[in-house]
């Protein structure tokens, strides 16, 4: 088999390289486990530790102290040709965990994945990723991962497990007893084919798909309206007016990375473009999308139907369609309706509520607006969220009736996230054969007879078709670290397929590529690119079958509950990922917890204060977080917390609120439940927020204007910059650069605050995780933070997201004050920080007006007090060997990814050519789903940053201080009337 590999993203020779070794027996020289035992001893935490594998080094401290320890250099026994120690390889792959989809490149060093980058060849995600995707690489090195298969809680081996399960499955098949394969959504065509074939072998097996947060109502509504139970593909890039009801399409809903690309692409204002889409958001909790809306209207869950129906009535009234009576409510939807009508066929109405009635109204509006076949593509279906809540309910009922003899569970954790966990668990106890494929011993796996740990996706072969026609490949980038086996291989073993899944996949793909392959892409090329687009037959949009609309049942008698997914933790799959746990929520900036969000007015009325503990429904105790923009009379709580069997970082963080889901209708809904909320007198619970002050105090920090003003005057909202430029004087000569001057430019108009960059930076630069207590002490280590400011109305504020990192000032205040010259300026305009020179006076931190410098308050490596990935031999595998792990007592900060700059400079020198524009791509910029960050050479007049710098929107943060930052920001433009 031949396999191509990426040297790096662009302009790399396609080299024929040997395949990564496959199979289950780990090669001695590749096995991280092996190294774990023999080589990595003692406190080798720094770069030398990281030089391991291909060039592993171990230090043995001698008994006599003053001697330098002996370091061993252990070469590979046989060095594979594609492995050059010290040079990264990039493999195209796909991230899919049952919920989120992303096409990615995996950066490996010495055959060890260390970073996820976006794949720019993907037509769907276009080099974007999300924070969860970025953090997924750390899951590979999670200590909680199972190292062996388990049989009734005891360690076992694959032969025994295979023998016993095959036997039992065979027996059940003969008896004709019902066995259920319960999986998360599977978008892999090959896996689906495999499951189909597997079920042919065991005809008694039925297959149920379960999504903890489902979208089955959309499928149901579309079945009623179009006769197809599908989720259509939405074109946010084609929509001029978007009205969203609780659909957080920039954060969680379906394909957030794709939608972010589309949405922000439609709103770019560079190069004289003044055309911008407009977003209306009706929602209960402040979501990431809501924070980016031009108009945001907080509504209670019970009001969603009313408002939607009014919107429908407005449009129908003008279009001459049937209107329906609506009880009066306080919301005016006329403006939205007019905007939509003005942009017929170029508008989009979406709702994230999992309620058929709501979705039927949404469909009716979109139909009236003629959006089908223009902004909504019913032929290009989205394959995510295939779960059917009704079938899941039936399954649980059957289990309780004892009708299920066997249950194989892949990538699901209903014992944690099924809304009625107790019902599920009691049902599970009645099941005879219980098999889990979980990677870790999660809540469900604990209850199973057999746990057959699946490989991490970075160790697996797979494919994915998130959107019909858009396929991508998952390929292993590392040998399985532990004695685990891919789910598909397990099925093949039990179905006696012969061979393994990689050959099965290849065979399937060869067949797939033989037809409908216009470019004639080879299998090798597909593996190289990671993506493949099948020729799509245009297909006709099916006719609309009108349905009678009715308002959903709604209970508005008390405090209404609106559950939501956090940008970091999501549904709780990655609750043991310290990066995600510590990622500040883009809206609340809270880390490490979930909490009950209430509106300021509500809080005042109920005498609730930040960190007061409330009891929800008399059972769940949660701290209060007063959230501006939260709909009055509602309370919002994030899902995904309160895991009890996630691992050392994620156990017992926050509270599990899945049981508060609304199951009144046939679907499980995040909102709609009415809860009681009582204050626990005298009890508080500390919350770790990274930002405690939420307004700008009238300072010109994040600048904004409206589209109308911007068209009239491109520098509107940014008048201060001109003033500063004209009035700045200095005693000193301007810094003179030759050849290279690095600069960054951040478009606040594009940035949605999704925090992908924060995690990308953390992964790239070995940023430490410090735990809740230290975050609470305001000591977060992230080099990049996203400042979030509110303005205007406290009940419904306007939101700014402002990524802030080291500005690399030419007149840097921090440089002047360091007594030991540990920080100074480079000829390339970088503010350099020499960690090993730093003695930790922290004067630079004080004197940095942007407060972007971070101090190592403790030793964060090999310290049991900070028991996260850097305290585990396995967890440290994720560290980037090009970046040193900082010692206690030194100051660190954004280096503009100096290691990437140096790497690309070296490459250019080796190839005897000048550096190309866009060649050096920094970590935060690479995977930004909205392309808000630009980076390049300011001395090159044709570079993107140079051009953006000339734009009228551009300003320097705190420019009046005359720090001359190399980083500039561009005014946020809101598309609203005033």
Partner 1 sequence: MINTGIVFKKPLALNAFLKNGLLILLLLFSSLSFGQTAEAEANFAVCKACHTIGGGKLVGPDLKGVTERREEAWILRFVKNSTEFIQSGDPVAKQVFEENNSIPMPPNNLTDEQIKDILLYIENGGKVAGASEAVVEQTPKPAQDELESTMILAEKKQAEAQNLYITFIILSVLIVISIFDLLVSKILKARWIHVVIMLISVVVIGEIVFLESAALGRQQYYQPEQPIMFSHKVHAGQNKIDCKYCHFTADESMHAGIPPVNVCMNCHSQVKQGKLTGTKEIDKIYSAIERNKPIEWIKVHNLPDHVYFNHAQHVNVGKVACAECHGPVEKMDQIIQVEDLSMGWCIQCHREKEVQFADNKFYDQYTKLHQQIKSGKISKVTVQMIGGDECQKCHY
Partner 2 sequence: MKTNILGIYEDEKVLTDAVDKLQAQGVTISDVFSPIPLHGIWEKLNLTTRLPLATFLYGAFGAALTFAFLFWTSVVSYPLKFGGKPLNTLSFIIIMFVLTINIGTLFTFITYFVREKMFPGKQVKLDVPRTTDDQFTIVIERPLDMSLDEEKKINALLKETGAVEVIETNN
Partner 3 sequence: MYNTRVRGILIKGNKSFSDVSRDIIKPMDDKTPMWWWVTAFLATGALFWGVWGFYNTISTGIGTWGLNNNVAWGWAIINFVWWIGIGHAGTAFSIFLLIVRQKWRTSINRAAEAMTIFAVMAAGLFPLIHMGRIWDGFFIFPYWNTRGPVWDNFNSPLFWDVVAISTYFMASFVFWYMGMIPDFATIRERTTSAIKKKIYGALSFGWIGNAKGWLRFETAAILLGGMAAPLVVSVHSIVSMDFSVSVVPGWHTTIFPPYFVVGAIFSGFGMVLTLMIVMRKLYKFKDYVTDGHLDAITRILTFMSLIMGTAYLTELFMAWYSGSEYELFTFMKNRVTGDYKFAYWTMLICNGMIPQLFWFKAVRKNITIVFIISLFINLGMWFERYVIVVTSLSKDFLPATWATYEPTITEIAVYSGTIGLFVLGVLMFFRFVPTIAISEVKGVLKETSTLKSFTDEN
- Contact positions toward partner 1, by CB under 8 A? 28-29, 46-48, 51, 54-55, 57, 66, 68, 70-79, 84-87, 736, 738-740, 822, 824, 826-828, 830, 832-837, 882-884, 895, 898-899, 902, 905-906, 908-910, 912-915, 939-940
Strands 3-5 and 15-17 turn out to be antiparallel
Which one, 161 or 812, has the nearer CB to partner 3? 812
Strand extents, DSSP E, 704-784? 704-706, 742-747
Q: Tell me the C-alpha distance between 82 and 84, whole Å.
A: 6
Show contacts with partner 3 in window 810-829 (CB under 8 A): 813, 815-821, 824
* Cβ contact 344:370 at 8 Å: yes
Four-point Cα dihedral 353, 357, 359, 362, nearest 10? -120
Q: How far is the CB of 475 from partner 1 (least distance, A)?
A: 24
Q: Of 788, 930, 945, give the one whose Cα is nearest residue 267.
A: 930
Q: Tell me the C-alpha distance between 707 and 720, whole Å.
A: 18
Q: Does 267 bind partner 3 (CB under 8 A)?
A: no
Q: How far is the CB of 848 from partner 2 (least distance, A)?
A: 11
Task: Choose the binding region for partner 2 from 35-43, 435-443, 674-682, 817-825 (rule: CB under 8 A).
Answer: 817-825
Q: Does 326 bind partner 3 (CB under 8 A)?
A: no
Q: Which does 810 bind (CB under 5 to 8 A by kind): partner 3, partner 2, partner 1, none?
A: partner 2
Q: Tell me the C-alpha distance between 640 and 637, whole Å.
A: 10
Find the helix or strand (DSSP H, E) in which 574 lies. none
Q: Does 889 bind partner 3 (CB under 8 A)?
A: yes
Which one, 206 or 811, has the nearer CB to partner 2? 811
Question: Residue 512: what are its φ and ψ, rounded to 5°?
Answer: -65, -35
Q: Does 335 bind partner 2 (CB under 8 A)?
A: no
Q: Does 813 bind partner 2 (CB under 8 A)?
A: yes
Question: Residue 508: what are its φ and ψ, rounded to 5°?
Answer: -60, -40
Q: Does 60 bind partner 3 (CB under 8 A)?
A: no
641 SS3 class = coil
Q: Tell me the C-alpha distance between 549 and 600, whole Å.
A: 35
Among 825, 842, 905, 949, binds partner 2 (CB under 8 A): 825
Q: How far is the CB of 955 from partner 3 (least distance, A)?
A: 14
Q: Which does 891 bind (CB under 5 to 8 A by kind): partner 2, partner 3, partner 1, none?
A: partner 3
Report how far Cα 691 is from the mean position of its chain's Cα atoms.
Answer: 21
Q: Which does 78 bind (CB under 5 to 8 A by kind): partner 3, partner 1, partner 2, none?
A: partner 1
Which one, 435 or 830, has the nearer CB to partner 1? 830
Among 160, 322, 816, 865, binds partner 2 (CB under 8 A): 816
Among 280, 497, 501, 789, binds partner 3 (CB under 8 A): 789
| Size of site (CB under 8 A) for partner 2 | 17
Which one, 665 or 826, has the nearer CB to partner 1? 826
Tokens representing residue 708 in the block: 């109308």
* Helix, strand, coil content of the chain in percent (nearest 5): 30, 20, 50
Q: How far is the CB of 688 from partner 2 (least distance, A)?
A: 34
Q: How far is the CB of 730 from partner 2 (least distance, A)?
A: 8
* Cβ contact 938:945 at 8 Å: yes
Question: Across the strands, what pairs with 536?
Answer: none
Show contacts with partner 2 in window 946-975 (CB under 8 A): 964
| Size of site (CB under 8 A) for partner 3 | 58
Give the Cα-Cα-Cα angle 296, 299, 301 (nearest 5 degrees). Answer: 135
Which one, 403 or 847, has the nearer CB to partner 3? 847
Number of Cβ within a 10 Å radius of residue 138: 25
Residue with tokens 């009891």: 615
Which one, 507 or 834, has the nearer CB to partner 2? 834
44-71 exposure pattern, b = at least 16 Cβ within 10 A, e = fewer: bbbbbbbbbbbbbbbbeeeeeeeeeeee
Among 603, 812, 870, 878, binds partner 2 (CB under 8 A): 812
Q: Tell me the C-alpha distance between 435 and 490, whole Å.
A: 11
In this structure, is the dihedral angle defined by the CA atoms of residues 865, 869, 874 and 879, taken in order, positive or negative? negative
Task: Choose the binding region for partner 2 from 56-64, 290-298, 639-647, 820-828 (rule: CB under 8 A).
Answer: 820-828
Number of Cβ within a 10 Å radius of residue 235: 18
Strands 433-436 and 406-410 turn out to be parallel
Show contacts with partner 3 in window 845-884 (CB under 8 A): 845-847, 849-851, 853-859
Q: Does 72 bind partner 3 (CB under 8 A)?
A: no
Task: Choose the binding region for partner 2 from 5-13, 271-279, 513-521, 726-734 (rule: CB under 8 A).
Answer: 726-734
Which one, 271 or 736, has the nearer CB to partner 2? 736
943 SS3 class = coil
Task: Please tell me what DSSP assigns to residue 92.
Answer: E
Number of residues written out for the chain: 978
* Cβ contact 222:351 at 8 Å: no
* Cβ contact 479:23 at 8 Å: no
* Cβ contact 295:976 at 8 Å: yes
Q: How far is the CB of 734 from partner 2 (least distance, A)?
A: 8
Q: Tell me the C-alpha distance between 149 and 156, whole Å.
A: 5
Q: Does 162 bind partner 3 (CB under 8 A)?
A: no
Q: Does 733 bind partner 2 (CB under 8 A)?
A: yes
5-37 exposure pattern, b = at least 16 Cβ within 10 A, e = fewer: bbbbbeeeeeeeeeebeeeeebeebbbbbebee
Distances (CA, A) of 916 to 52, 121, 936: 32, 19, 9
Q: How far is the CB of 868 from partner 3 (least distance, A)?
A: 15
Which one, 534 or 842, has the nearer CB to partner 3? 842
Which one, 63 or 692, has the nearer CB to partner 3? 692
Q: How far is the CB of 863 from partner 3 (least distance, A)?
A: 9
Q: Does 736 bind partner 2 (CB under 8 A)?
A: no
118 SS3 class = strand
Show contacts with partner 3 in window 943-962 (CB under 8 A): 958, 961
Task: Choose the binding region for partner 3 from 143-151, 159-167, 593-601, 772-780 (rule: CB under 8 A).
Answer: 772-780
* Cβ contact 897:904 at 8 Å: no
Q: Does 697 bind partner 3 (CB under 8 A)?
A: yes
Q: How far is the CB of 693 from partner 3 (least distance, A)?
A: 4
Which one, 691 or 832, has the nearer CB to partner 2? 832
CA gyration radius, the chain: 28
Which one, 677 or 767, has the nearer CB to partner 3? 767
Q: Does 732 bind partner 2 (CB under 8 A)?
A: yes
Among 667, 774, 869, 975, binds partner 3 (CB under 8 A): 774
Q: Does 694 bind partner 3 (CB under 8 A)?
A: yes
Among 100, 442, 787, 828, binds partner 3 (CB under 8 A): 787
Enumerate the H helices of 495-538 as residue ranges. Answer: 501-513, 523-529
What residues line the site for partner 3 (CB under 8 A)?
691-699, 701, 774, 777-780, 785, 787-789, 802, 804, 813, 815-821, 824, 837-843, 845-847, 849-851, 853-859, 887-891, 958, 961, 963
What residues line the site for partner 2 (CB under 8 A)?
730, 732-733, 735, 809-816, 818, 821, 824-825, 964
């Amino acid at each position: 088999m031949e396999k191509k590999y990426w040297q790096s993203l662009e302009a790399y020779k396609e080299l024929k390289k040997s395949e990564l070794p496959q199979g289950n027996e780990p090669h001695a020289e590749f096995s991280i486990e092996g190294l774990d035992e023999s080589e990595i001893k003692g406190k080798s935490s720094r770069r030398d530790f990281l030089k391991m594998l291909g060039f592993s080094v171990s230090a043995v401290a001698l008994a006599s102290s003053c001697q330098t320890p002996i370091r061993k250099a252990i070469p590979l026994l046989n060095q594979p040709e594609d492995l050059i120690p010290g040079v990264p390889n990039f493999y195209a792959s796909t991230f899919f965990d049952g919920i989120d989809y992303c096409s990615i490149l995996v950066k490996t060093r010495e055959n060890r994945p260390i970073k996820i980058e976006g794949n720019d060849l993907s037509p769907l995600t276009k080099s974007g990723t999300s924070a969860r995707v970025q953090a997924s690489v750390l899951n590979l090195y999670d200590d909680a991962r199972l190292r062996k298969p388990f049989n009734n809680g005891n360690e076992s081996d694959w032969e025994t497990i295979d023998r016993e399960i095959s036997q039992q499955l065979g027996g059940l098949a003969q008896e004709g007893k019902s066995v259920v394969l319960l999986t998360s959504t599977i978008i892999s065509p090959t896996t689906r084919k495999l499951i189909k074939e597997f079920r042919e072998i065991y005809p008694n097996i039925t297959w149920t798909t379960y999504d903890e947060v489902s979208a089955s109502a959309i499928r149901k509504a579309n079945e009623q309206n179009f006769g197809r139970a599908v989720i259509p593909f939405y074109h946010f890039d084609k929509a001029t007016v978007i009205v969203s009801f609780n659909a957080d399409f920039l954060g969680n809903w379906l394909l957030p990375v794709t939608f972010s690309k589309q949405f922000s692409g439609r709103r770019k204002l560079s190069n004289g473009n003044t055309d911008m889409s407009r977003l209306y958001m009706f929602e209960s909790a402040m979501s990431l999308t809501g924070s980016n809306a031009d108009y945001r209207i907080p509504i209670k869950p019970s009001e969603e139907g009313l408002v939607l129906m009014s919107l429908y009535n407005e449009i129908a009234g003008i279009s001459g369609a049937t209107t329906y009576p609506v009880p009066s409510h306080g919301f005016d939807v006329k403006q939205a309706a007019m905007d939509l009508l003005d942009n017929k066929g170029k508008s989009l109405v979406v709702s994230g509520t999992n309620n058929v009635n709501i979705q039927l109204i949404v469909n009716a509006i979109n139909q009236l607006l003629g959006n089908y076949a223009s902004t909504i593509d019913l032929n290009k279906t989205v394959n995510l969220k295939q779960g059917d809540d009704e079938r899941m309910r039936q399954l649980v009922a059957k289990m309780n009736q004892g009708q299920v003899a066997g249950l194989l569970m892949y990538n699901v954790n209903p014992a944690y996230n099924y809304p009625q966990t107790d019902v599920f668990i009691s049902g599970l106890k009645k099941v005879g054969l219980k098999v889990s494929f979980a990677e870790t011993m999660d809540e469900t796996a604990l209850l199973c007879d057999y746990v057959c740990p699946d490989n991490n996706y970075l160790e697996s072969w797979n494919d994915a078709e998130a959107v019909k026609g858009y396929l991508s490949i998952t390929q292993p980038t590392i040998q399985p670290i532990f004695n685990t086996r891919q789910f598909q291989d397990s099925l093949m073993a039990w179905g006696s397929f012969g061979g393994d899944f990689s050959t099965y996949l290849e065979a399937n793909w060869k067949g797939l590529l033989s037809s409908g392959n216009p470019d004639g892409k080879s299998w090798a090329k597909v593996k190289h690119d990671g993506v493949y687009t099948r020729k799509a037959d245009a297909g006709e949009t099916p006719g609309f079958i009108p349905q009678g609309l009715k308002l959903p049942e709604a209970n508005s008698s008390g405090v209404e509950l609106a559950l939501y997914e956090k940008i970091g933790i999501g549904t709780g799959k990655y609750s043991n990922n310290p990066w995600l746990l510590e990622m500040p929520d883009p809206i609340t900036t809270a880390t490490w917890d979930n909490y009950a969000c209430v509106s300021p007015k509500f809080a005042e009325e109920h005498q609730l204060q930040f960190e007061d503990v409330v009891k929800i429904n008399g059972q769940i105790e949660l701290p209060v977080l007063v959230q501006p923009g939260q709909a009055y009379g509602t309370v919002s709580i994030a899902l995904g917390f309160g895991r009890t069997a996630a691992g050392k970082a994620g156990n017992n963080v926050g509270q599990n609120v899945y049981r508060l889901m609304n199951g009144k209708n046939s679907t499980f809904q995040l909102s709609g439940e009415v809860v009681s909320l009582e204050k626990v007198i005298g009890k508080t619970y500390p919350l770790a927020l990274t930002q405690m002050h939420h307004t700008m105090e009238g300072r010109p920090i994040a600048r904004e204007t409206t589209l109308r003003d911007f068209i009239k005057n491109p520098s509107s909202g940014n008048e201060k910059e001109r003033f500063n430029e004209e009035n700045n004087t200095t005693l000193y000569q301007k810094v003179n650069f030759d050849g290279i001057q690095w600069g960054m430019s951040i478009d606040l108009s594009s940035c949605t605050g999704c925090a992908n960059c924060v995690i990308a930076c953390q992964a790239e630069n070995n940023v430490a995780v410090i735990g809740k207590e230290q975050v609470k002490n305001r000591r977060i280590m992230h080099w990049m933070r996203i400042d979030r400011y509110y303005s205007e109305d406290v009940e419904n504020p306007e939101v700014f997201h402002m990524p802030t990192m080291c500005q690399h000032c030419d007149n840097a205040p921090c440089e002047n004050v360091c007594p030991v010259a540990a920080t100074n300026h480079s000829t390339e305009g970088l503010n350099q920080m020499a960690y090993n020179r730093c003695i930790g006076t922290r004067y630079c931190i004080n004197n940095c007006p942007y407060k972007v410098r971070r101090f190592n308050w403790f030793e964060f490596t090999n310290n049991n007090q900070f028991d996260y990935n850097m305290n585990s031999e396995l967890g440290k595998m994720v560290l980037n060997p090009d970046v040193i792990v900082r010692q206690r007592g030194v100051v660190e900060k954004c280096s503009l990814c100096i290691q990437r700059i140096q790497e690309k400079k070296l490459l250019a020198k080796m190839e005897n050519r000048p550096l190309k524009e866009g060649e050096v791509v920094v970590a935060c910029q690479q995977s930004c789903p909205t392309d808000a960050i630009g980076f390049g050479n300011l001395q090159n007049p044709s570079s993107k940053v140079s051009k953006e710098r000339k734009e009228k929107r551009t300003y320097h943060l705190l420019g009046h201080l005359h720090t001359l930052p190399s980083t500039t920001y561009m005014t946020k433009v809101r598309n609203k009337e005033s």
